[in-house]
Amino acid sequence: MWMEGSLRSSREPVQAVVAHGAHDLRVEEVPSPELGPLDAEVGVVVGGICGSDLHYYHEGGVGDFMIRQPLVLGHEIAGTVLRVGEGAELTSGERVVIDPSSSCGLCPMCRRGRPNLCSAVQFLGSAAHFPHVQGGFRQRLITSASNCVPVPDGLPLETAVMSEPLAVAVHAVVRAGTLIGRRVLVTGAGPIGLLIALVASRAGASAVIVTDIESEPLERAARVGATQTVHVTSGTQELDQVDAAFEASGAPPALASALRAVRPGGQLVVVGLPPGLVPIPAGAMITREVDVTGSFRFDNDEFRAALTMLANGLDVSPLLTGRFPLKDAVKAFDAASDRSKTTKVQLTFN
């Protein structure tokens, strides 16, 4: 239903979580853009804090992408449609989760069916382009209706919003090919590592071994289907041989350990983004013909598949370790930064 009141209020500024630089996170008013004919305005209900949000918070950037203007963070967003543009195929009142990725559809990678590698991709809450793409940690978000994926009845938005990180895990498993009957290693028991463990065990892996440098995340790994957990100390570690390994920590020693753990002819999927240049045991890769595969984000089909898995009862509750109201965003970011205690921290809006 289209309401006068919401139209009027929609141009009013909204409260948002804005990163101004390293360790300068503020809850403040930001302007609301205009609703385009193919847009929807979403009343944000819940947002998940992601590793990249934490990098913006702690370092003022992710990898090479530094904040050059105030940036509203957040790309794991779910809420309720408040109003839609005249050409948008959505209904107000509908509950939706946002696919944060908008690929151009025209570049060579898009035309090859690899939209996650689009050279012009716009990703919610990202400093990759200038001006930055402002994110979804705000009370109301205007976004293209095509990025709004309806949430099946009965699935809480707090669960549905896990579609985004789960889609990253789905994509990584798709990159690996079949895991049926395979022994799988996951290095790094953060949100993505745990979700990969969950998807890999659903995908028929005969064993799922998860490693981390802290014991608390490994306890959560056991709760999402890891058949074995290994507490690694600092440095590289010798691990049992596996058919496929997923590196999900971004830590250079873990990448080296994972590569050595893959059996000859096996596969390593690298998901965690390490900082800068990283030494790898190239000999172990070459002489044993280990296939090394990069995995980056996901496409819209994988995002929808992730939502369907959640609607079908995939249990991600062991990962949901904290929820804070918008006004306590800084507390929420600090809590999310303590990975001994938390895996996925969420913010609630409105």
Other CB atoms within 10 A of residue 100 CB: 24
Site for Zn ion in 234-253 (CB under 5 A): none
Q: Is 149 in the site for Zn ion (CB under 5 A)?
A: no
At residue 308, what is the residue type?
T
Nearest approach in angstroms of CB 250 to Zn ion is: 14
What is the spatial distance between Cα 170 and Cα 66, in angstroms, rounded to a whole number?
28
**Of 338, 254, 337, 336, the residue nearest 346 (C-alpha):** 336
Contacts of 303 (CB under 8 A, 6+ apart): 99, 101, 149, 163, 164, 167
Strand locations in 145-304 (E): 148-150, 183-187, 207-212, 228-231, 242-247, 262-270, 291-294
Give the number of residues in contact with Zn ion, rule: CB under 5 A: 9
**Of 193, 179, 271, 265, the residue nearest 230 (C-alpha):** 193
Q: Determine which residue in the list 107, 285, 311, 335 makes contact with Zn ion, applying CB under 5 A.
A: 107
- Of 32-40, 95-103, 262-270, 315-323: span binding Zn ion (CB under 5 A): 95-103
**Of 34, 27, 142, the residue nearest 73 (C-alpha):** 27
Nearest approach in angstroms of CB 262 to Zn ion is: 26
**Sheet with 71-72, edge to edge strand ranges:** 24-30, 14-21, 71-72
Nearest approach in angstroms of CB 327 to Zn ion is: 22
Question: Measured from the CB atom, is 62 or 186 closer to Zn ion?
Answer: 62
Question: 86 φ, ψ to 5°?
Answer: -65, -25
Nearest approach in angstroms of CB 159 to Zn ion is: 15
Site for Zn ion in 21-80 (CB under 5 A): 50, 76
Question: Measured from the CB atom, is 207 or 314 closer to Zn ion?
Answer: 314
Q: Is 262 in the site for Zn ion (CB under 5 A)?
A: no
Q: Determine which residue in the list 110, 189, 199, 230 makes contact with Zn ion, applying CB under 5 A.
A: 110
Other CB atoms within 10 A of residue 335 CB: 17
Question: Measured from the CB atom, is 261 or 320 closer to Zn ion?
Answer: 320
Question: Measured from the CB atom, is 169 or 205 closer to Zn ion?
Answer: 169
Nearest approach in angstroms of CB 224 to Zn ion is: 17
Nearest approach in angstroms of CB 227 to Zn ion is: 26
Q: Determine which residue in the list 15, 103, 134, 321 makes contact with Zn ion, applying CB under 5 A.
A: 103
DSSP assigned state of 22: T
Nearest approach in angstroms of CB 25 to Zn ion is: 17
What is the spatial distance between Cα 338 and Cα 331, in angstroms, rounded to a whole number?
11
Alpha-carbon distance values, 20 to 28, 66, 282, 345 (Å): 11, 11, 40, 21
Question: Measured from the CB atom, is 60 or 191 closer to Zn ion?
Answer: 191
Question: Measured from the CB atom, is 260 or 297 closer to Zn ion?
Answer: 297
Nearest approach in angstroms of CB 121 to Zn ion is: 6
**Of 176, 193, 208, the residue nearest 290 (C-alpha):** 176
- Of 27-35, 157-165, 271-279, 328-336: span binding Zn ion (CB under 5 A): 157-165
What is the spatial distance between Cα 119 and Cα 96, in angstroms, rounded to a whole number?
27
Q: Determine which residue in the list 82, 98, 118, 244 makes contact with Zn ion, applying CB under 5 A.
A: 118
Residues that bind Zn ion (CB under 5 A): 50, 76, 103-104, 107, 110, 118, 164-165
